[in-house]
Structure formats: structure tokens, C-alpha cells
A = this chain, B = another copy of it.
């Protein structure tokens, strides 16, 4: 039923039956969680061979003793593996510790206080620092920036990526904008893949933005496809090299959602000039990364063919979970004008947009019926969704049964809130 065409009497009846359903869920004492993009135990078990994979041999291919100090920027074989994954050269890679967030945070800190292109390039010397934040986006990007005193300017996301007209106009008009946050493939939370046109226009931002502008290209879901037809992401680093702007991009990745979340390996790709500044800064704060764990990953993931096969096993676990949510959304809401949602071909999230002004209420209703959803506004800078309409669903962690039940509750809450809003207006 399209609510906009429903008579008040119909709405009242609907509200009554939805309220009854909702009450039934409330009394069922559910305890379900759709909040975090955490891999399931089944997915994590795909990488159980990691511990013990070295078989007592703690040397890499070149004979380096992995157990001792040394090697600030990672093992050569790990660089090659992750370079192939990101479509860059091994020399462009820095391999780090157990995640990419610390590398992003460290890059922000270094750019702010020391500069990525010599002392004079430190952002903090140039007055207030601003970043563009395509929304909805990843809350950790936003909170890390804010914590370091960076002001965030939201820009709209569409199905091709950030609205590049808006992005270009903003960086042209305000040289204090020093960066933009991007999750270019299977964006968190909308799941879209940046189009070739968006990638090409990104590569040219370095020509029109203020000095020392950097794209923070968090390719967190680079290989996390749900089916073989998933759209491919154009190679930003190549495009930047062609445009002569390779200094304007920092690319991040990790195996957090390939092997173990929290015990994987983080890495980044950047130009020689950027890497040189980052390695200099790293040298003051660490003696080097965990080479033993890096080499475990080299032995386990081996090459791109092995990696692809491994990711197909993830997809076989993830796809039914996405389908469970999407099929219910379609069958329950497909003919209505209640909400819209994305149908990602990869990544970890489904993004639902309610009618304006309802996200908080839906999340509150779901919480009171025992279904936890990501807090409203989390994917927006300062936690404020101006439309109060975006809800992020993370289907990876629960069992399919729990997921189906949680989605049922969520849809009931969504309908109930929407009908109540329609009645009140």
C-alpha cells in the first residue's frame, strides 16, 4: 500500500495491527544486534590456519629473521601482496600493524603537525583545517578527524559516489579544505562503488584544491564482493599518476575483514614523497611492525588468485545474509512509499532511508523490542543526520535466523513509525 494514497481510516487500522505486532515482539524478549560490521565466527574460521602456518620457520624469503627488530615499512613479500591487491607497485606500499585505522590517524597527525611535504607543509601552520565528508559515511573517519580538530563539511553521496560538482566547487573556493574521506568500493554504509567518472575527477582535485590537499582513500572493501558481477573500481593511483597528482592521495587497506578483525594486517599506498614523510615520523614512535604476523599473511593469502578464492568463501557466507535482509525489505516494502534502500554487491552494509524525521524513532522502537541498530546519525559528522532518515544495517554477524527475525522487527518498527507520522500530519 502506498501510504500517500491511504485514507485516514486505513492508516488507523494499519497502526492498530502494527502496534499489536510490535507488542508481540516486545514481549518476546529478543536480544538481536545489527550494529557492527563484524565478521561472523564462520567467516573468521576461514583463516584459522594462520596460527601455526609458519611451521617453526621464522624467516622470510630473503632470510630476514621475522622475530627480531628491524624493517619499519614492512616485509617485501607483504608489500608485493598488498600492492597487487590495490593495483600499485610494491615500492608504493607501507605495511603496518593490526589495522588501517591507526595508519589513517597517524597520517592525519603527521600531515597536521609535521607536514607530508616538508616542515612548511604542516596543515596546522595554515590556520583551521577542514575535510570534506561524503555522507552518509564511516563514523570512525569523522570522529578521528574531529578529535584532531579538523572541521568536517558534509557533501552528498549519490549512486556514483560523492557529488563531484559540489566537491570541486568547495575545494576551489576554500583552500583550507585539506582532504576528503572516501570509501570508494562498497562505500560504508551505502555500498555503492565510485564510478570511473568520479575516480577521474578525484584524480584532478590536486590541481584545483588548496596546497597539500590529500584524498584519504579508504579501500576497506577492495576485494569484498558478494558476486562475480560486482562493479570494478577504477585505479585512482594510476589516474593520479597520469594527472601528475600522485602526491594528492593516500590509499588504505587491511585484512581485517579478509582474515581476522583485530589480528590482521593494515597497509597503505602513497607516493615516494608521502611515504618518506610518514616513515620519518614513524621512526620516532615505533621500532617496526609485527613482521611475524605479516609473514603469516604472506603464507596464507599467497597471491591474488588465492586471495580471490578466499574471498569467494566469504561471499558464500555473506550473500545469504544480505539476501535475507533484502528479500524481506522487497517483499514487505517493495510496493510501498515507506523507505528506500541500497542493494550492494559487496562490502558490509545495507543503507536504508526512511521518510525524513523517522530514523531516530525507528531505531528507538527497535531497541525497545530487543533489536539493536547503529545509533541514528552515526554515519554523519557530529552524529547529526540533517534529514534524520538514514539507518545502517550490518548483516554479517548474526545467524540467518536471527537476521530474519531482526529484519522482521525492524520492518515492523519502520512501518509503525511511518504510519504514525502520516496520521499525525
Interface residues of A (CB under 8 A from B): 36, 38-39, 41, 44, 47-48, 51-56, 58, 65-71, 97-99, 101-102, 105-106, 109, 140, 143-144, 147-148, 256, 260-263, 281, 284-293, 296
- Contact assessment for B263 and A293 in the assembled complex, using a CB-CB cutoff below 8 Å: yes
- Contact assessment for A68 and B44 in the assembled complex, using a CB-CB cutoff below 8 Å: yes
- Contact assessment for B102 and A286 in the assembled complex, using a CB-CB cutoff below 8 Å: yes
Provide the bound-state CA to CA distance between A69 and B35, in Å: 13
- Contact assessment for B68 and A286 in the assembled complex, using a CB-CB cutoff below 8 Å: no
Provide the bound-state CA to CA distance between A54 and B65, in Å: 22
- Contact assessment for B70 and A262 in the assembled complex, using a CB-CB cutoff below 8 Å: yes
Nearest opposing residue in chain B for A39, CB measure: B68
Sample of 5 A–B contacts (CB below 8 Å) = A66-B263, A98-B290, A143-B284, A148-B284, A293-B293
Q: Known contacts A68-B39, A263-B67; decide if A99 and B287 are in contact (CB<8 Å).
A: yes
CB distance from A93 to the nearest CB of B (A): 19
Residues of B contacting A260 in the complex (Cβ-Cβ under 8 angstroms) = 67-68, 292
Which one of B51, B58, B105, B290 lies within 8 Å of A285 (CB-CB)? B105
Which one of B51, B70, B105, B284 lies within 8 Å of A51 (CB-CB)? B51
Provide the bound-state CA to CA distance between A106 and B262, in Å: 19
Provide the bound-state CA to CA distance between A44 and B65, in Å: 9
From A68, A70, A106, A296, residue with most partner B Cβ within 10 Å: A68
**What is the oligomeric copy number?**
2
Nearest opposing residue in chain B for A100, CB measure: B287
From A98, A291, A293, residue with most partner B Cβ within 10 Å: A98
- Contact assessment for A51 and B58 in the assembled complex, using a CB-CB cutoff below 8 Å: yes
Residues of B contacting A286 in the complex (Cβ-Cβ under 8 angstroms) = 99, 101-102, 105
Residues of B contacting A48 in the complex (Cβ-Cβ under 8 angstroms) = 56, 58
Provide the bound-state CA to CA distance between A116 and B102, in Å: 20
Which one of B39, B47, B147, B256 lies within 8 Å of A284 (CB-CB)? B147
- Contact assessment for A69 and B287 in the assembled complex, using a CB-CB cutoff below 8 Å: no
Q: Known contacts A68-B261, A290-B290; decide if A285 and B38 are in contact (CB<8 Å).
A: no
Residues of B contacting A65 in the complex (Cβ-Cβ under 8 angstroms) = 41, 44
Provide the bound-state CA to CA distance between A97 and B68, in Å: 15
CB distance from A176 to the nearest CB of B (A): 20
- Contact assessment for B44 and A289 in the assembled complex, using a CB-CB cutoff below 8 Å: no
Q: Known contacts A144-B284, A262-B291; decide if A296 and B68 are in contact (CB<8 Å).
A: no
Residues of B contacting A56 in the complex (Cβ-Cβ under 8 angstroms) = 48, 51-52
Provide the bound-state CA to CA distance between A261 and B289, in Å: 10
Provide the bound-state CA to CA distance between A305 and B239, in Å: 59
CB distance from A241 to the nearest CB of B (A): 30
- Contact assessment for A47 and B67 in the assembled complex, using a CB-CB cutoff below 8 Å: yes
Residues of B contacting A55 in the complex (Cβ-Cβ under 8 angstroms) = 52
CB distance from A336 to the nearest CB of B (A): 35
CB distance from A421 to the nearest CB of B (A): 35
Residues of B contacting A143 in the complex (Cβ-Cβ under 8 angstroms) = 284
Known contacts A51-B58, A262-B288, A263-B291, then 4 further A-B pairs from the complex at CB < 8 Å, ordered by chain A residue:
A41-B65, A52-B55, A290-B290, A290-B293
Residues of B contacting A54 in the complex (Cβ-Cβ under 8 angstroms) = 51-52
Residues of B contacting A140 in the complex (Cβ-Cβ under 8 angstroms) = 287
